[in-house]
Amino acid sequence: MFRYPNGKTYTPKLDKPIKNQANQSYSNRGMTLEDDLNETNQFYLENGIAVIHKKPTPVQIVNVDYPKRSAAVIREAYFKQSSTTDYNGVYKGKYIDFEAKETKSKTSFPLQNFHEHQIKHMQSVISQQGICFVIISAFGTTYFLEARKLFDFWERKENGGRKSITHEELEESSFKIPLGYQPRIDYIKIVETLFFQ
């Protein structure tokens, strides 16, 4: 059992099994956005392009059972602190920090997928001249959304407006990242275009 710093129990969201495999998008092929990004980052690292890693979530282990000497089982743990964003690293001497999000909604991307501390963290990165963005998997497409544009949608929500980004808004305000073989999600191409040219 894992707990957040406030004591609330963490419950992982489990995907419902797919009933009809014929309706499954071929582009996904069973991989998640995180798997694709980890594979992409490994490609960048091995080819000397960028050094980007997934941030580990700090956990405080409270209760462990040792049924066998070689097999410890964690029975209770707490998240030490709220997480910031998923990935960070460096590209051409510039700090990069980004979050990866997925949705199965067919009409909009819910802003409840973000937490206020994540938005504040991204704002801090931008204030220090870092490169910050979000990679969103939605509507059968992968999008690159600059953090500054995300802030506009977040502010609208905070001021009592729409609590999601519509499909049309995401199309207009972000860049599509075509899926490839190596790298799988070549987001550095967009970083290069936006911040280095």
Task: Convert the pLDDT of each residue in 68-96 to its tens digit.
Answer: 777 777 777 665 556 688 899 999 999 99
Mean pLDDT is lowest, of 64-68, 80-84, 138-142, for: 80-84
Confidence check: pLDDT of 62 > 90:
no
The length of the chain is 197
**pLDDT for residue 159 is more than 90:** yes
Asked if pLDDT for residue 12 goes beyond 80, the answer is no
Q: What integer pLDDT is reported at residue 10 of this predicted model? A: 61
Give the pTM.
0.75
Tell me, what's the pLDDT at 17? 45
89: left (phi over 0), alpha (psi -120 to 50) or beta: left
Residues 127-155: what's their mean pLDDT? 96
Contact 133, 144 (CB under 8 A): yes
SS (H, E, C) the chain: CEECCCCCEECCCCCCCCCCHHHCCCCCCCCCHHHHHHHHHHHHHHCCCCEEEECCCCEEEEEEEEEECCEEEEEEEEECCCCCCCEEEEECCEEEEEEEEECCCCCEEEHHHCCHHHHHHHHHHHHCCCEEEEEEEECCEEEEEEHHHHHHHHHHHHCCCCCEEEHHHHHHHCEECCECCCCCECCHHHHHHHHCC
Q: How far is Cα 40 from Cα 170, in angstroms, rounded to an integer? A: 23
Q: Is the pLDDT of residue 4 over 90?
A: no
Q: Choose between 23 and 152: higher pLDDT.
A: 152
* Residue 146 β-bridge partners: 133
The per-residue pLDDT for range 147-158, each reduced to its tens digit, is 999 999 999 999
Domains and CATH numbers, the chain: 32-56+83-195 (3.40.1350.10)
What pLDDT does 13 receive?
A: 56
Band of residue 127 on the pLDDT scale cut at 50, 70, 90: very high
Highest average pLDDT, of 15-24, 63-72, 133-142, comes from 133-142
Q: How far apart are CA 26 and CA 22, in angstroms?
A: 9
**CB 9: neighbour CB atoms within 10 A?**
10
Are residues 122 and 99 in contact, defined by beta-carbon separation less than 8 angstroms?
A: yes
